[in-house]
């Protein structure tokens, strides 16, 4: 079977990893001109962590990742206002740069990745897909996979325009990494955040004297600003703390986007299927999109490469249906959870900030910490235990 995967991100690479081991002929196209560096920190746990363990990369993720031991809220002078210790003993939770997760998966993928390339046109027919790439070449494949993220071009070409599927969550998000030994040491192995109603800025220290920064702000208009770096400086610079300093050094590879969820009725049309954020973006408010992207890729590969029934090769359409049926309930649950979590991550008022601080104190009580962590992964375990495998 020949498959073309558009998008060499978390979901696309995981799918390639599994399909090529099942004997499929796999090719990937990736819009970025080379392996994507930079980016943002993610907390990695739940179903995706279990998949990583089965792929044998969990040890490496722990090596390149971080164990954050404290969440700390600070004021404009950097003084602690509230926070919580992160309980120890969660050996299946690691914080790491998204790029480090992608690289750990990519190192096990042998398929050719065509960088600087995307999908330009899709022609579906009954038993295959003809794909025209942006470099002018063509591919005739049994299956085309759109793993090209929340703003998927494959989805646009085969399913319809983005407005039909996106649910804007009323916020813009930005993230980048800078090198600064002094600030990195000052922040230390704790996740420090400053919140004012409607805005949140956070900083993590990374090895090598680096600092990962995250900005979240309430914005009724989903349209992105013409100059995202200037918009960030204008909005967050006056809030104090380390912000004026770090906002003077916004790099060219700044990540800036709207916060959205993607809701789409059908995840496949004929021989075109979507995986990861392209069909199931849960948003950073839900917290484990990368984990669910890996889980979705695993479930899809699991269904596609099932043992032949009665000597006949697996029916592709039926496999794609089963994939969607296994994934969608968990995604719907997680998206609903993400929407409820908005007020906790980016409180809209002073009262909400006070309530969040109380919740943090409760979460730190013995026993509550584990319940709290479990509540962050609604239904994810079902994906691994409830399937065919
Ligand atoms: C700030 C932030 C914090 C987050 N925190 C967490 C967290 O704590 N835990 C967690 O698990 N998840 C987190 N997430 C979510 C997580 O990063 C995503 O859900 C995950 O990366 C989705 O994987 P994906 O493979 O579907 O998409 P992506 O990882 O976005 O990969 C898509 C790939 O497709 C490529 N591409 C795009 N368009 C095209 C095109 N036209 N042609 C070819 N290639 C294309 C892109 O360059 C990219 O390489 C966070 C997200 C953000 C933005």
Contact criterion met (CB below 8 Å) for 16 and 109: yes
Q: Is the dihedral of CA 168, 169, 172, 175 positive or negative?
A: negative
Instruction: Supply 292's token pair.
Output: 């669910």
CATH code for the domain defined by 2-66+96-166+263-344? 3.50.50.60
Helix %, strand %, coil % of the chain (to 5): 40, 30, 35
pLDDT 10s digits, 36-45: 877 899 999 9
300 lines ligand 1 (CB under 6 A): no
**Distance from Cα 144 to the centre of ligand 1, integer Å:** 19
Average pLDDT of the segment spanning 218-236: 96
Q: From the alpha carbon of 276, which atom of ligand 1 is closest?
A: 26
Pair type for strands 199-206 and 191-196: antiparallel
Over 80: is that where the pLDDT of 356 sits?
Answer: no
Phi-psi map region of 56: left, alpha, beta (phi>0 left; psi -120 to 50 alpha): left
Average pLDDT of the segment spanning 190-206: 93
Residue 107: how many CB atoms within 10 A of its CB?
11
Q: What's phi and psi for 191, nearest 5 deg? A: -90, 110
**Distance from Cα 9 to the centre of ligand 1, integer Å:** 6
By C-alpha distance, which of 379, 378, 375 is closest to 344? Answer: 375
**Distance from Cα 365 to the centre of ligand 1, integer Å:** 34
Mutate which of 289, 298, 338 for ligand 1 pocket (most atoms within 8 A of beta carbon) = 289
289 lines ligand 1 (CB under 6 A): yes
Q: What's phi and psi for 287, nearest 5 deg? A: 90, -25
Q: What does the mean pLDDT of the chain come to?
A: 90
Which residue, by CA, sits nearest to atom 4 of ligand 1?
284
173 lines ligand 1 (CB under 6 A): yes
Which residue, by CA, sits nearest to atom 9 of ligand 1?
288
Contact criterion met (CB below 8 Å) for 286 and 259: no
- Specify the pLDDT at position 140: 96
By C-alpha distance, which of 41, 55, 54, 15 is closest to 94? Answer: 41
Indicate the DSSP class of residue 312: B
pLDDT 10s digits, 275-329: 999 999 999 999 889 999 999 999 999 999 976 555 455 689 999 999 999 999 9
Q: From the alpha carbon of 175, which atom of ligand 1 is closest?
A: 1
**H or E segment to which residue 194 belongs:** strand 191-196
pLDDT 10s digits, 24-59: 999 999 999 999 877 899 999 989 999 999 999 999
- Specify the pLDDT at position 311: 47
> CA-to-CA distance for 345 and 200, rounded, in angstroms?
8
Task: Report how far Cα 73 is from the mean position of its chain's Cα atoms.
Answer: 24
Average pLDDT of the segment spanning 236-249: 96
46 lines ligand 1 (CB under 6 A): no
Which residue, by CA, sits nearest to atom 35 of ligand 1?
7
Write down the domain spans for the chain. Answer: 2-66+96-166+263-344
Task: State the Cα torsion 145-146-148-152 to the nearest 10°.
Answer: 170
> CA-to-CA distance for 117 and 68, rounded, in angstroms?
37
Instruction: Supply 236's token pair.
Output: 């967050």
Band (pLDDT 50/70/90 cuts) for residue 373 is low
Q: From the alpha carbon of 36, which atom of ligand 1 is closest?
A: 49
């Amino acid at each position: 079977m020949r498959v073309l995967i558009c998008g060499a991100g978390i979901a696309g690479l995981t799918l390639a990893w599994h399909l090529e081991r099942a004997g499929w002929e796999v090719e990937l196209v990736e819009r970025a001109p080379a392996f994507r560096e930079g980016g943002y920190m993610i907390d990695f746990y739940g179903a995706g962590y279990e998949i990583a363990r089965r792929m044998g990369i969990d040890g490496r993720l722990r090596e390149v990742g971080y164990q954050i031991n404290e969440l700390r809220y600070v004021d404009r002078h950097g003084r602690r206002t509230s926070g919580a210790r992160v309980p120890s003993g969660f050996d299946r939770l690691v914080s790491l740069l998204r790029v480090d997760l992608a690289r750990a998966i990519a190192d096990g993928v042998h398929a050719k990745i065509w960088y600087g390339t995307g999908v330009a046109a899709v022609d579906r027919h009954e038993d295959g897909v003809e794909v025209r790439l942006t470099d002018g070449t063509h591919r005739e494949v049994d299956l085309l996979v759109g793993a090209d993220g929340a703003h998927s071009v494959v989805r646009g070409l085969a399913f319809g325009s983005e407005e039909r599927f996106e649910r804007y969550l009323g916020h813009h998000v930005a993230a980048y990494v800078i090198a600064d030994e002094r600030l990195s040491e000052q922040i230390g192995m704790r996740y420090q955040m400053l919140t004012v109603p409607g805005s949140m800025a956070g900083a993590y220290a990374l090895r090598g004297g680096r600092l990962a920064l995250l900005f979240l702000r309430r914005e009724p208009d989903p349209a992105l600003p013409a100059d995202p770096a200037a918009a960030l400086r204008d909005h967050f610079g006056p809030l104090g703390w380390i912000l004026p300093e770090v906002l003077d050094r916004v790099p060219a590879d700044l990540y800036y986007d709207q916060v959205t969820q993607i809701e789409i009725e059908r995840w496949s049309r004929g021989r075109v299927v979507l995986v990861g954020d392209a069909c199931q973006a849960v948003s950073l408010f839900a917290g484990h999109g990368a984990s669910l992207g890996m889980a979705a890729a695993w479930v899809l590969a699991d269904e596609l490469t099932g043992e032949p029934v009665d000597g006949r090769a697996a029916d592709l359409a039926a496999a794609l249906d089963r994939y969607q049926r296994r994934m969608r309930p968990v995604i719907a649950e997680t998206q609903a959870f993400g929407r409820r979590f908005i007020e906790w991550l980016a409180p809209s008022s002073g009262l909400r900030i006070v309530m969040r601080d109380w919740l943090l104190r409760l979460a730190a009580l013995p026993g509550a910490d584990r319940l709290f962590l479990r509540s962050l992964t609604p239904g994810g375990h079902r994906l691994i235990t409830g399937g065919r495998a």
